[in-house]
Amino acid sequence: GGKTPGLLSVIVAYVAGISILVSPLTALLLLAAAVLIGYLATNRRLVRKLTAR
């Protein structure tokens, strides 16, 4: 039973290390997705305004 917390902490530390390395890429992907969604949303609004004429 004593080995489990140690193993868990190693796994958590390992995952944390990976997430630190991956996070800049993930952040860029999320930012790009947010910009894309926002761009599409504004385009839809503009299209609605144009079609309303």
Cα 6 from Cα 48, distance rounded (Å)? 58
pLDDT digits 0-9 by tens, 29-50? 888 888 888 888 788 777 778 7
pLDDT digits 0-9 by tens, 5-22? 788 888 888 887 887 778
Residue 3 has pLDDT above 60, yes or no: yes
Q: What is the model's pTM?
A: 0.44
What is the per-residue pLDDT for 2? 67
Q: Which residue from 22, 26, 45 is spatially nearest to 34, judged by alpha carbons?
A: 26
In the predicted model, what is the mean pLDDT of residues 22-30?
80
Q: Domain segments of the chain: what residues?
A: 23-53
